[in-house]
């Protein structure tokens, strides 16, 4: 599996350090708030698991699954909710945890959808941001890393459901996804 990785973009140690910093920043910003954290399946799971251990305020978490890609590498532009929340966001302080923002279509849709459900506050934390790919105006409130427009996998990010378990973020060799 690792022979398909062209290079390590973000090491395991660098990820751990930045996730701890994000957890501290969110803790400082959310004192006296009861947080509902929404993890976006499947890619955000490793990030969410590490992040919630670094946030030192009362919290609950739930999950949503959304898709704008289907089985393709390119966004279709149409966002679908595949799994909705089990709990209400109304009158709650909500933090959406996303693995990556590239076109911004999915996150913009999610933010608008959740805002219509009347949370007290709605913020977004993303591990990775690819501003070169942005098609819509969206800015996460907390951002782990700005990365170049390369095909990345690992730490939850996948290609055909593979590579999610890598402990780092790596760039996939083009011959793997250009078949």
Q: Rounded to whole angstroms, what are the CA distances from 109 to 35, 37, 87, 146?
A: 21, 17, 19, 21
Q: Which two tokens stand for residue 29?
A: 């910003």
Cβ-contact 171, 4 below 8 angstroms: no
What pLDDT, on the 0 to 100 scale, is given for residue 73? Answer: 53
Measured from the Cβ of residue 12, the count of other Cβ atoms closer than 10 Å reads 14
pLDDT tens, position by position, for the chain (179 residues)? 789 999 999 999 999 999 999 999 999 999 989 899 999 999 999 999 999 999 999 999 999 999 875 544 555 567 889 999 999 999 999 999 999 999 999 999 999 999 999 999 999 999 999 999 999 999 999 999 999 999 999 999 999 999 999 999 999 999 998 87
- What's the CA gap between 14 and 169, in Å, rounded? 10
pLDDT at 2: 81
| Residue whose pair of structure tokens reads 């990785």 in the numeric block | 5
What is the predicted pLDDT for the residue at 76? 53
Find the catalytic residue in 29, 102, 129, 158. 102
Cα 80 to Cα 64: distance, rounded to the nearest angstrom: 11
In CATH terms, the fold of domain 12-150 is: Rossmann fold (3.40.50)
Q: Which residues contact 80 (CB under 8 A, 6 or more apart)?
A: 66, 67, 68
Catalytic residue status for 102: yes
CA atoms within 13 A on the CB side of 124: 23
* Separation CA 172–CA 76 (nearest Å): 22
Domain boundaries, the chain: 12-150
């Amino acid at each position: 599996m690792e022979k398909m990785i062209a290079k390590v973009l973000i090491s395991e140690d660098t990820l751990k350090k930045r996730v701890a910093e994000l957890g501290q920043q969110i803790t400082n910003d959310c004192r006296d708030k009861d947080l509902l954290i929404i993890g976006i399946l499947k890619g955000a799971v490793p990030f969410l698991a590490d992040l919630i251990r670094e946030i030192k305020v009362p919290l609950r978490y739930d999950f949503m699954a959304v898709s704008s890609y289907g089985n393709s590498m390119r966004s279709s532009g149409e966002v679908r909710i595949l799994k909705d929340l089990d709990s209400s966001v109304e009158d709650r302080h909500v933090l959406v945890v996303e693995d990556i923002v590239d076109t911004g279509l999915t996150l913009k849709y999610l933010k608008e959808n959740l805002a219509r459900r009347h949370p007290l506050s709605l913020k977004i934390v993303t591990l990775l941001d690819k501003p070169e790919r942005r098609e819509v105006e969206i800015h996460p409130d907390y951002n782990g890393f700005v990365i170049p427009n390369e095909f990345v996998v690992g730490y939850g990010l996948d290609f055909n459901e593979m590579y999610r378990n890598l402990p780092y973020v790596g760039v996939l060799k083009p011959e793997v996804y250009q078949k």
